[in-house]
Structure 1
Protein backbone atom coordinates (compact mmCIF):
# COMPACT_ATOMS: atom_id res chain seq x y z
CA UNK A 1 0.00 0.00 0.00
CA UNK A 2 1.23 3.44 -0.96
CA UNK A 3 1.12 5.59 2.24
CA UNK A 4 0.67 8.69 0.07
CA UNK A 5 -2.82 7.54 -0.82
CA UNK A 6 -3.84 8.46 2.73
CA UNK A 7 -5.56 11.89 2.67
CA UNK A 8 -3.11 13.79 4.94
CA UNK A 9 -0.01 12.49 3.13
CA UNK A 10 -1.65 12.89 -0.28
CA UNK A 11 -2.37 16.54 0.53
CA UNK A 12 1.22 17.04 1.71
CA UNK A 13 2.55 15.42 -1.47
CA UNK A 14 0.34 17.64 -3.63
CA UNK A 15 1.38 20.76 -1.71
CA UNK A 16 5.08 19.89 -2.06
CA UNK A 17 4.71 19.19 -5.78
CA UNK A 18 2.86 22.44 -6.43
CA UNK A 19 5.40 24.37 -4.40
CA UNK A 20 8.29 22.94 -6.40
CA UNK A 21 6.48 23.69 -9.65
CA UNK A 22 5.94 27.32 -8.64
CA UNK A 23 9.57 27.69 -7.59
CA UNK A 24 10.71 26.05 -10.83
CA UNK A 25 8.64 28.51 -12.86
CA UNK A 26 10.13 31.45 -10.96
CA UNK A 27 13.67 30.19 -11.58
CA UNK A 28 13.20 29.23 -15.23
CA UNK A 29 14.24 32.65 -16.53
CA UNK A 30 17.52 32.36 -14.63
CA UNK A 31 18.35 28.66 -14.72
CA UNK A 32 16.57 27.53 -17.87
CA UNK A 33 16.30 23.75 -18.09
CA UNK A 34 18.03 23.35 -14.74
CA UNK A 35 15.36 25.36 -12.90
CA UNK A 36 13.82 22.34 -11.16
CA UNK A 37 17.23 21.10 -10.01
CA UNK A 38 18.02 24.58 -8.67
CA UNK A 39 14.64 24.57 -6.90
CA UNK A 40 15.61 21.32 -5.13
CA UNK A 41 18.93 22.87 -4.10
CA UNK A 42 17.20 25.97 -2.72
CA UNK A 43 14.69 23.83 -0.81
CA UNK A 44 17.61 21.89 0.65
CA UNK A 45 19.31 25.09 1.78
CA UNK A 46 16.06 26.37 3.28
CA UNK A 47 15.65 23.14 5.27
CA UNK A 48 19.23 23.26 6.51
CA UNK A 49 18.90 26.90 7.56
CA UNK A 50 15.79 25.95 9.53
CA UNK A 51 17.77 23.17 11.22
CA UNK A 52 20.69 25.38 12.27
CA UNK A 53 19.47 25.41 15.93
CA UNK A 54 19.75 21.61 15.96
CA UNK A 55 23.25 21.91 14.53
CA UNK A 56 24.18 24.28 17.34
CA UNK A 57 22.80 21.80 19.88
CA UNK A 58 24.89 19.08 18.25
CA UNK A 59 28.08 21.19 18.49
CA UNK A 60 27.39 22.00 22.13
CA UNK A 61 26.75 18.34 22.90
CA UNK A 62 30.06 17.30 21.30
CA UNK A 63 31.91 19.89 23.37
CA UNK A 64 30.15 18.82 26.56
CA UNK A 65 30.76 15.12 25.90
CA UNK A 66 34.46 15.87 25.46
CA UNK A 67 34.48 17.57 28.88
CA UNK A 68 32.80 14.52 30.38
CA UNK A 69 35.29 12.09 28.83
CA UNK A 70 37.50 11.71 31.95
CA UNK A 71 34.48 10.93 34.12
CA UNK A 72 33.13 8.52 31.50
CA UNK A 73 36.44 6.70 31.43
CA UNK A 74 36.36 6.46 35.23
CA UNK A 75 32.91 4.89 35.04
CA UNK A 76 34.13 2.48 32.40
CA UNK A 77 37.04 1.41 34.58
CA UNK A 78 34.81 0.98 37.62
CA UNK A 79 31.77 -0.69 36.10
CA UNK A 80 33.19 -2.20 32.89
CA UNK A 81 32.35 -5.71 34.07
CA UNK A 82 28.78 -4.74 34.91
CA UNK A 83 27.21 -3.44 31.66
CA UNK A 84 23.80 -2.70 33.20
CA UNK A 85 25.29 -0.64 36.03
CA UNK A 86 27.62 1.11 33.59
CA UNK A 87 24.68 2.08 31.41
CA UNK A 88 22.70 3.43 34.39
CA UNK A 89 25.64 5.41 35.74
CA UNK A 90 26.47 6.78 32.30
CA UNK A 91 22.94 7.97 31.62
CA UNK A 92 22.79 9.50 35.09
CA UNK A 93 26.00 11.39 34.37
CA UNK A 94 24.56 12.68 31.13
CA UNK A 95 21.35 13.75 32.88
CA UNK A 96 23.22 15.52 35.66
CA UNK A 97 25.34 17.37 33.09
CA UNK A 98 22.34 18.18 30.87
CA UNK A 99 23.96 16.47 27.87
CA UNK A 100 22.27 14.18 25.36
CA UNK A 101 24.37 11.32 23.91
CA UNK A 102 22.06 11.27 20.89
CA UNK A 103 22.11 14.99 20.01
CA UNK A 104 24.23 14.28 16.94
CA UNK A 105 21.43 12.20 15.40
CA UNK A 106 18.76 14.92 15.61
CA UNK A 107 19.63 16.79 12.37
CA UNK A 108 19.59 13.49 10.48
CA UNK A 109 16.24 12.44 11.88
CA UNK A 110 14.74 15.86 11.22
CA UNK A 111 15.67 15.69 7.54
CA UNK A 112 14.27 12.21 6.93
CA UNK A 113 10.70 13.43 6.16
CA UNK A 114 12.03 15.94 3.61
CA UNK A 115 14.07 13.29 1.78
CA UNK A 116 11.04 11.00 1.85
CA UNK A 117 8.83 13.71 0.35
CA UNK A 118 11.30 14.50 -2.44
CA UNK A 119 11.58 10.80 -3.16
CA UNK A 120 7.80 10.50 -3.34
CA UNK A 121 7.32 13.65 -5.45
CA UNK A 122 9.63 12.36 -8.19
CA UNK A 123 8.32 8.80 -7.94
CA UNK A 124 4.60 9.37 -8.53
CA UNK A 125 3.52 9.80 -12.17
CA UNK A 126 0.39 11.60 -11.00
CA UNK A 127 -0.23 13.79 -7.97
CA UNK A 128 -3.56 15.19 -6.86
CA UNK A 129 -5.34 13.66 -9.82
CA UNK A 130 -3.15 15.29 -12.49
CA UNK A 131 0.05 14.35 -14.28
CA UNK A 132 3.23 15.12 -12.36
CA UNK A 133 4.91 17.79 -14.49
CA UNK A 134 8.08 17.61 -12.42
CA UNK A 135 8.92 14.24 -14.00
CA UNK A 136 9.55 16.06 -17.27
CA UNK A 137 12.22 18.25 -15.67
CA UNK A 138 15.85 17.41 -16.32
CA UNK A 139 19.40 18.30 -15.38
CA UNK A 140 21.83 18.20 -18.33
CA UNK A 141 19.47 15.83 -20.07
CA UNK A 142 18.96 13.44 -17.16
CA UNK A 143 15.39 13.32 -15.78
CA UNK A 144 15.18 14.31 -12.12
CA UNK A 145 12.82 11.41 -11.50
CA UNK A 146 15.30 8.76 -12.58
CA UNK A 147 17.89 6.89 -10.54
CA UNK A 148 20.91 4.94 -11.68
CA UNK A 149 19.15 1.69 -10.84
CA UNK A 150 15.98 2.50 -12.79
CA UNK A 151 18.03 3.82 -15.71
CA UNK A 152 20.00 0.57 -15.84
CA UNK A 153 16.87 -1.58 -15.62
CA UNK A 154 15.04 0.42 -18.30
CA UNK A 155 18.11 0.62 -20.54
CA UNK A 156 17.97 4.43 -20.61
CA UNK A 157 21.31 4.96 -18.84
CA UNK A 158 23.79 6.90 -20.94
CA UNK A 159 27.17 8.52 -20.40
CA UNK A 160 25.62 11.66 -18.92
CA UNK A 161 23.58 9.61 -16.45
CA UNK A 162 26.67 7.78 -15.22
CA UNK A 163 28.69 11.01 -15.08
CA UNK A 164 26.05 12.94 -13.15
CA UNK A 165 25.45 10.15 -10.64
CA UNK A 166 29.21 9.71 -10.23
CA UNK A 167 29.60 13.42 -9.45
CA UNK A 168 26.79 13.35 -6.90
CA UNK A 169 28.20 10.25 -5.20
CA UNK A 170 31.74 11.70 -5.21
CA UNK A 171 30.48 14.91 -3.56
CA UNK A 172 28.67 12.93 -0.85
CA UNK A 173 31.64 10.66 -0.15
CA UNK A 174 34.13 13.55 -0.24
CA UNK A 175 32.17 15.77 2.14
CA UNK A 176 31.46 12.81 4.40
CA UNK A 177 35.11 11.84 4.53
CA UNK A 178 36.16 15.41 5.34
CA UNK A 179 33.61 15.45 8.15
CA UNK A 180 34.80 12.09 9.47
CA UNK A 181 38.49 12.96 9.24
CA UNK A 182 38.53 16.49 10.62
CA UNK A 183 35.33 16.75 12.66
CA UNK A 184 35.02 13.31 14.19
CA UNK A 185 33.03 13.42 17.46
CA UNK A 186 35.07 13.09 20.65
CA UNK A 187 35.93 9.57 21.76
CA UNK A 188 33.40 8.43 24.31
CA UNK A 189 33.88 4.89 25.67
CA UNK A 190 30.32 4.83 26.99
CA UNK A 191 28.59 5.84 23.78
CA UNK A 192 26.42 2.97 22.51
CA UNK A 193 28.26 1.06 19.82
CA UNK A 194 25.29 1.39 17.46
CA UNK A 195 25.66 5.19 17.55
CA UNK A 196 29.42 4.95 16.91
CA UNK A 197 28.92 2.61 13.95
CA UNK A 198 26.11 4.72 12.49
CA UNK A 199 28.21 7.88 12.71
CA UNK A 200 31.16 6.17 11.01
CA UNK A 201 29.35 4.54 8.10
CA UNK A 202 26.58 7.08 7.49
CA UNK A 203 28.42 9.14 4.81
CA UNK A 204 29.11 6.01 2.78
CA UNK A 205 25.60 4.65 3.34
CA UNK A 206 24.22 7.97 2.08
CA UNK A 207 26.29 7.58 -1.10
CA UNK A 208 24.81 4.12 -1.67
CA UNK A 209 21.30 5.45 -1.09
CA UNK A 210 21.96 8.10 -3.76
CA UNK A 211 22.24 5.30 -6.34
CA UNK A 212 18.70 4.10 -5.67
CA UNK A 213 16.69 7.30 -5.15
CA UNK A 214 15.54 9.75 -7.85
CA UNK A 215 18.18 12.24 -8.94
CA UNK A 216 16.28 15.06 -7.19
CA UNK A 217 16.59 13.29 -3.83
CA UNK A 218 20.25 12.49 -4.56
CA UNK A 219 20.87 16.20 -5.16
CA UNK A 220 19.32 16.91 -1.77
CA UNK A 221 21.64 14.38 -0.14
CA UNK A 222 24.72 15.88 -1.84
CA UNK A 223 23.89 19.46 -0.86
CA UNK A 224 22.99 18.57 2.72
CA UNK A 225 26.22 16.55 3.16
CA UNK A 226 28.33 19.51 2.02
CA UNK A 227 26.30 21.82 4.27
CA UNK A 228 26.87 19.47 7.22
CA UNK A 229 30.63 19.67 6.82
CA UNK A 230 30.63 23.47 6.45
CA UNK A 231 28.26 24.04 9.35
CA UNK A 232 30.14 21.74 11.72
CA UNK A 233 33.48 23.25 10.72
CA UNK A 234 32.20 26.75 11.55
CA UNK A 235 30.47 25.69 14.78
CA UNK A 236 33.58 23.86 15.96
CA UNK A 237 35.23 27.31 16.10
CA UNK A 238 32.50 28.59 18.41
CA UNK A 239 32.30 25.39 20.47
CA UNK A 240 35.87 24.04 20.43
CA UNK A 241 36.67 20.63 21.82
CA UNK A 242 39.54 20.72 24.29
CA UNK A 243 42.69 18.79 23.50
CA UNK A 244 43.64 15.95 25.77
CA UNK A 245 43.09 12.21 25.95
CA UNK A 246 39.82 12.42 24.00
CA UNK A 247 41.51 14.37 21.23
CA UNK A 248 44.29 11.82 21.09
CA UNK A 249 41.74 9.09 20.49
CA UNK A 250 40.11 11.22 17.77
CA UNK A 251 43.39 11.61 15.92
CA UNK A 252 44.31 7.94 16.26
Structure 2
Protein backbone atom coordinates (compact mmCIF):
# COMPACT_ATOMS: atom_id res chain seq x y z
CA UNK A 1 0.00 0.00 0.00
CA UNK A 2 2.86 2.39 0.79
CA UNK A 3 4.22 1.82 -2.73
CA UNK A 4 0.84 2.85 -4.13
CA UNK A 5 0.86 6.10 -2.15
CA UNK A 6 4.44 6.76 -3.21
CA UNK A 7 3.57 6.18 -6.87
CA UNK A 8 0.63 8.57 -6.63
CA UNK A 9 2.77 11.17 -4.89
CA UNK A 10 5.26 10.89 -7.76
CA UNK A 11 2.40 11.39 -10.23
CA UNK A 12 1.26 14.56 -8.46
CA UNK A 13 4.85 15.82 -8.29
CA UNK A 14 5.39 15.14 -12.00
CA UNK A 15 2.18 16.96 -12.90
CA UNK A 16 3.26 19.87 -10.70
CA UNK A 17 6.59 20.01 -12.56
CA UNK A 18 4.68 20.30 -15.85
CA UNK A 19 2.53 23.12 -14.46
CA UNK A 20 5.38 24.94 -12.70
CA UNK A 21 6.10 27.42 -15.54
CA UNK A 22 2.50 28.64 -15.32
CA UNK A 23 1.76 28.47 -11.59
CA UNK A 24 5.26 28.68 -10.07
CA UNK A 25 5.14 28.01 -6.29
CA UNK A 26 1.46 27.04 -6.45
CA UNK A 27 2.03 24.39 -9.13
CA UNK A 28 1.26 21.49 -6.75
CA UNK A 29 -2.05 23.12 -5.80
CA UNK A 30 -2.84 23.49 -9.50
CA UNK A 31 -1.96 19.81 -9.99
CA UNK A 32 -4.48 18.86 -7.28
CA UNK A 33 -7.20 20.90 -8.99
CA UNK A 34 -6.36 19.30 -12.34
CA UNK A 35 -6.36 15.83 -10.78
CA UNK A 36 -9.78 16.51 -9.23
CA UNK A 37 -11.16 17.60 -12.59
CA UNK A 38 -9.79 14.42 -14.16
CA UNK A 39 -11.58 12.33 -11.51
CA UNK A 40 -14.83 14.21 -12.10
CA UNK A 41 -14.47 13.78 -15.84
CA UNK A 42 -13.96 10.04 -15.34
CA UNK A 43 -17.19 9.68 -13.34
CA UNK A 44 -19.17 12.03 -15.60
CA UNK A 45 -20.76 9.12 -17.53
CA UNK A 46 -22.16 7.87 -14.20
CA UNK A 47 -23.47 11.35 -13.45
CA UNK A 48 -25.24 11.36 -16.82
CA UNK A 49 -26.69 7.93 -16.09
CA UNK A 50 -27.84 9.16 -12.66
CA UNK A 51 -29.53 12.14 -14.30
CA UNK A 52 -31.36 9.87 -16.73
CA UNK A 53 -32.42 7.67 -13.82
CA UNK A 54 -33.72 10.59 -11.78
CA UNK A 55 -35.67 11.94 -14.73
CA UNK A 56 -37.19 8.48 -15.17
CA UNK A 57 -38.12 8.43 -11.48
CA UNK A 58 -39.74 11.85 -11.85
CA UNK A 59 -42.00 10.43 -14.57
CA UNK A 60 -43.05 7.67 -12.15
CA UNK A 61 -44.27 10.13 -9.50
CA UNK A 62 -47.98 9.82 -10.39
CA UNK A 63 -47.76 6.02 -10.15
CA UNK A 64 -45.77 6.23 -6.89
CA UNK A 65 -48.32 8.61 -5.39
CA UNK A 66 -51.08 6.17 -6.30
CA UNK A 67 -49.20 3.29 -4.67
CA UNK A 68 -48.63 5.30 -1.48
CA UNK A 69 -52.29 6.18 -1.32
CA UNK A 70 -53.38 2.63 -2.04
CA UNK A 71 -51.07 1.04 0.58
CA UNK A 72 -50.99 3.91 3.10
CA UNK A 73 -51.96 1.61 5.96
CA UNK A 74 -49.54 -1.16 4.98
CA UNK A 75 -45.97 0.27 4.76
CA UNK A 76 -44.39 -3.12 4.05
CA UNK A 77 -46.67 -3.80 1.11
CA UNK A 78 -46.19 -0.24 -0.11
CA UNK A 79 -42.38 -0.64 -0.16
CA UNK A 80 -42.65 -3.93 -2.04
CA UNK A 81 -44.96 -2.33 -4.61
CA UNK A 82 -42.59 0.63 -5.07
CA UNK A 83 -39.58 -1.68 -5.48
CA UNK A 84 -41.50 -3.75 -8.01
CA UNK A 85 -42.37 -0.62 -10.00
CA UNK A 86 -38.70 0.49 -9.97
CA UNK A 87 -37.63 -2.98 -11.08
CA UNK A 88 -40.24 -3.06 -13.86
CA UNK A 89 -39.19 0.36 -15.16
CA UNK A 90 -35.46 -0.45 -14.65
CA UNK A 91 -34.97 2.53 -12.36
CA UNK A 92 -32.54 2.41 -9.42
CA UNK A 93 -33.34 4.69 -6.44
CA UNK A 94 -29.62 4.70 -5.48
CA UNK A 95 -28.11 5.56 -8.88
CA UNK A 96 -27.71 9.23 -7.94
CA UNK A 97 -25.35 8.32 -5.09
CA UNK A 98 -22.80 6.43 -7.20
CA UNK A 99 -20.80 9.43 -8.55
CA UNK A 100 -20.26 10.76 -5.01
CA UNK A 101 -19.41 7.36 -3.55
CA UNK A 102 -16.83 6.62 -6.25
CA UNK A 103 -15.00 9.86 -5.46
CA UNK A 104 -14.44 8.99 -1.81
CA UNK A 105 -11.27 6.92 -2.48
CA UNK A 106 -9.71 9.85 -4.37
CA UNK A 107 -10.56 12.25 -1.53
CA UNK A 108 -9.08 9.97 1.15
CA UNK A 109 -6.01 9.41 -1.02
CA UNK A 110 -5.42 13.16 -1.17
CA UNK A 111 -6.07 13.43 2.57
CA UNK A 112 -3.52 10.69 3.31
CA UNK A 113 -0.85 12.16 1.04
CA UNK A 114 -0.90 15.48 2.85
CA UNK A 115 -1.24 14.04 6.35
CA UNK A 116 1.70 11.61 6.25
CA UNK A 117 5.28 12.62 7.00
CA UNK A 118 6.85 9.66 5.16
CA UNK A 119 5.94 7.73 2.03
CA UNK A 120 7.75 4.49 1.25
CA UNK A 121 10.31 5.18 3.97
CA UNK A 122 11.24 8.55 2.47
CA UNK A 123 10.27 12.06 3.61
CA UNK A 124 7.05 13.22 1.93
CA UNK A 125 8.22 15.96 -0.41
CA UNK A 126 4.67 17.11 -1.10
CA UNK A 127 4.43 18.58 2.40
CA UNK A 128 6.77 21.40 1.44
CA UNK A 129 4.40 22.90 -1.13
CA UNK A 130 1.80 25.60 -0.70
CA UNK A 131 -1.02 27.57 -2.30
CA UNK A 132 0.25 31.14 -2.22
CA UNK A 133 1.15 31.54 1.50
CA UNK A 134 -0.88 28.59 2.82
CA UNK A 135 0.87 25.19 3.21
CA UNK A 136 -0.99 22.37 1.46
CA UNK A 137 -0.60 20.15 4.54
CA UNK A 138 -1.87 22.89 6.87
CA UNK A 139 -5.36 23.39 8.23
CA UNK A 140 -7.47 26.46 8.91
CA UNK A 141 -6.52 26.54 12.59
CA UNK A 142 -2.86 26.69 11.51
CA UNK A 143 -3.65 29.73 9.37
CA UNK A 144 -5.48 31.36 12.28
CA UNK A 145 -2.46 30.80 14.52
CA UNK A 146 -0.10 32.20 11.88
CA UNK A 147 -1.36 35.68 11.07
CA UNK A 148 -5.06 35.33 11.88
CA UNK A 149 -8.10 35.07 9.62
CA UNK A 150 -6.87 37.88 7.37
CA UNK A 151 -3.19 37.00 7.40
CA UNK A 152 -1.45 35.74 4.22
CA UNK A 153 -2.52 32.11 4.79
CA UNK A 154 -5.88 33.09 6.28
CA UNK A 155 -6.86 34.99 3.15
CA UNK A 156 -6.49 31.79 1.11
CA UNK A 157 -9.12 30.20 3.34
CA UNK A 158 -11.31 33.30 3.13
CA UNK A 159 -11.33 32.89 -0.65
CA UNK A 160 -12.12 29.16 -0.37
CA UNK A 161 -14.90 29.77 2.15
CA UNK A 162 -16.40 32.46 -0.09
CA UNK A 163 -16.41 30.09 -3.08
CA UNK A 164 -17.87 27.23 -1.04
CA UNK A 165 -20.56 29.51 0.42
CA UNK A 166 -21.54 30.70 -3.07
CA UNK A 167 -21.77 27.13 -4.39
CA UNK A 168 -23.64 25.96 -1.27
CA UNK A 169 -26.15 28.80 -1.60
CA UNK A 170 -26.70 27.89 -5.25
CA UNK A 171 -27.24 24.22 -4.31
CA UNK A 172 -29.46 25.19 -1.38
CA UNK A 173 -31.80 27.17 -3.58
CA UNK A 174 -31.96 24.41 -6.19
CA UNK A 175 -32.65 21.80 -3.52
CA UNK A 176 -35.46 23.90 -2.05
CA UNK A 177 -37.03 24.25 -5.51
CA UNK A 178 -36.63 20.53 -6.19
CA UNK A 179 -38.19 19.55 -2.87
CA UNK A 180 -41.08 21.96 -3.44
CA UNK A 181 -41.71 20.44 -6.87
CA UNK A 182 -41.22 16.84 -5.67
CA UNK A 183 -41.82 16.51 -1.89
CA UNK A 184 -40.22 13.59 -0.07
CA UNK A 185 -42.51 10.60 0.41
CA UNK A 186 -43.69 9.89 3.92
CA UNK A 187 -43.37 6.12 4.45
CA UNK A 188 -45.83 4.74 6.95
CA UNK A 189 -47.93 7.88 7.06
CA UNK A 190 -51.50 8.13 5.97
CA UNK A 191 -52.59 10.71 3.45
CA UNK A 192 -52.09 14.11 5.03
CA UNK A 193 -50.50 12.66 8.17
CA UNK A 194 -46.88 13.42 9.04
CA UNK A 195 -44.32 11.06 10.52
CA UNK A 196 -42.52 12.26 13.71
CA UNK A 197 -39.12 13.70 12.82
CA UNK A 198 -39.74 13.83 9.05
CA UNK A 199 -40.35 17.59 9.13
CA UNK A 200 -36.94 18.16 10.71
CA UNK A 201 -35.28 15.97 8.06
CA UNK A 202 -37.00 17.88 5.26
CA UNK A 203 -35.89 21.22 6.72
CA UNK A 204 -32.31 20.06 7.31
CA UNK A 205 -31.68 18.41 3.93
CA UNK A 206 -31.18 21.63 1.90
CA UNK A 207 -28.69 22.84 4.53
CA UNK A 208 -26.41 19.84 3.90
CA UNK A 209 -24.79 21.84 1.09
CA UNK A 210 -23.17 24.05 3.73
CA UNK A 211 -21.49 21.09 5.46
CA UNK A 212 -18.70 21.51 2.91
CA UNK A 213 -17.63 24.60 4.86
CA UNK A 214 -16.88 22.41 7.87
CA UNK A 215 -14.92 19.95 5.74
CA UNK A 216 -12.77 22.70 4.24
CA UNK A 217 -12.05 24.06 7.74
CA UNK A 218 -10.83 20.79 9.28
CA UNK A 219 -9.00 18.84 6.54
CA UNK A 220 -5.55 19.61 5.08
CA UNK A 221 -5.63 22.37 2.48
CA UNK A 222 -4.83 19.88 -0.30
CA UNK A 223 -7.92 17.82 0.56
CA UNK A 224 -9.93 21.04 0.89
CA UNK A 225 -8.90 21.99 -2.65
CA UNK A 226 -10.18 18.61 -3.83
CA UNK A 227 -13.52 19.18 -2.08
CA UNK A 228 -13.94 22.76 -3.32
CA UNK A 229 -13.10 21.81 -6.91
CA UNK A 230 -15.37 18.77 -6.83
CA UNK A 231 -18.38 20.57 -5.33
CA UNK A 232 -18.03 23.43 -7.80
CA UNK A 233 -17.87 20.93 -10.65
CA UNK A 234 -20.97 19.17 -9.25
CA UNK A 235 -22.97 22.39 -9.10
CA UNK A 236 -22.18 23.27 -12.71
CA UNK A 237 -22.63 19.69 -13.91
CA UNK A 238 -26.03 19.25 -12.27
CA UNK A 239 -27.27 22.63 -13.45
CA UNK A 240 -26.47 21.46 -16.98
CA UNK A 241 -27.74 17.88 -16.69
CA UNK A 242 -31.02 18.90 -15.04
CA UNK A 243 -31.57 22.11 -16.99
CA UNK A 244 -34.78 20.75 -18.54
CA UNK A 245 -36.26 19.47 -15.26
CA UNK A 246 -38.74 21.74 -13.42
CA UNK A 247 -37.48 22.63 -9.96
CA UNK A 248 -33.88 21.61 -10.73
CA UNK A 249 -34.16 17.95 -9.78
CA UNK A 250 -30.95 16.32 -8.71
CA UNK A 251 -29.83 19.01 -6.33
CA UNK A 252 -31.08 17.08 -3.33
CA UNK A 253 -28.25 14.56 -3.52
CA UNK A 254 -25.23 15.90 -1.60
CA UNK A 255 -22.10 15.94 -3.59
CA UNK A 256 -18.49 15.93 -2.67
* TM-score between the two structures when normalised by the length of structure 1: 0.83
- The alpha-carbon distance between structure 1 residues 222 and 85, as it changes in their structure 2 partners (threshold 3 A), is same
The corresponding residue for 1:82 is 74
The corresponding residue for 1:23 is 15
CA offset at residue 12 of structure 1? 2.1
The corresponding residue for 1:225 is 231
Structure 1 residue ranges (4+ consecutive) displaced by more than 6 angstroms after TM superposition: 195-198
SS in 1 for 2:88: helix
CA deviation map 1:34-74 (0-9, x unaligned)? 10110001001100110111110121122111101111111
SS in 2 for 1:38: helix
Q: How many residues align?
A: 234
The corresponding residue for 1:209 is 215
Task: Identify unmatched segments of 5+ residues in structure 1.
Answer: 1-8
Task: Identify unmatched segments of 5+ residues in structure 2.
Answer: 188-197
Aligned partner of 2:146 among 144, 150, 156: 156
Aligned partner of 1:108 among 96, 100, 103: 100
Supply the distance in 2 between the matched residues of 1:156 and 1:173 (Cα, whole angstroms): 24
CA offset at residue 174 of structure 1? 1.8
Does residue 65 of structure 2 align to residue 65 of structure 1? no
The answer as to whether partners of 2:117 and 2:123 remain within 8 angstroms in 1 is yes
CA offset at residue 151 of structure 1? 4.6
Matching of residues 137-152 of structure 1 within 5 Å: 137-151=129-143
The answer as to whether partners of 2:23 and 2:30 remain within 8 angstroms in 1 is yes
CA deviation map 1:202-221 (0-9, x unaligned)? 42222211111110111111
Supply the distance in 2 between the matched residues of 1:196 and 1:60 (Cα, whole angstroms): 24
Name whichever structure is richer in helix by fraction: 1
Does residue 170 of structure 2 align to residue 178 of structure 1? yes
Moved more, 177-186 or 166-175: 177-186
SS in 2 for 1:51: helix
* TM-score between the two structures when normalised by the length of structure 2: 0.82
- The alpha-carbon distance between structure 1 residues 105 and 211, as it changes in their structure 2 partners (threshold 3 A), is same
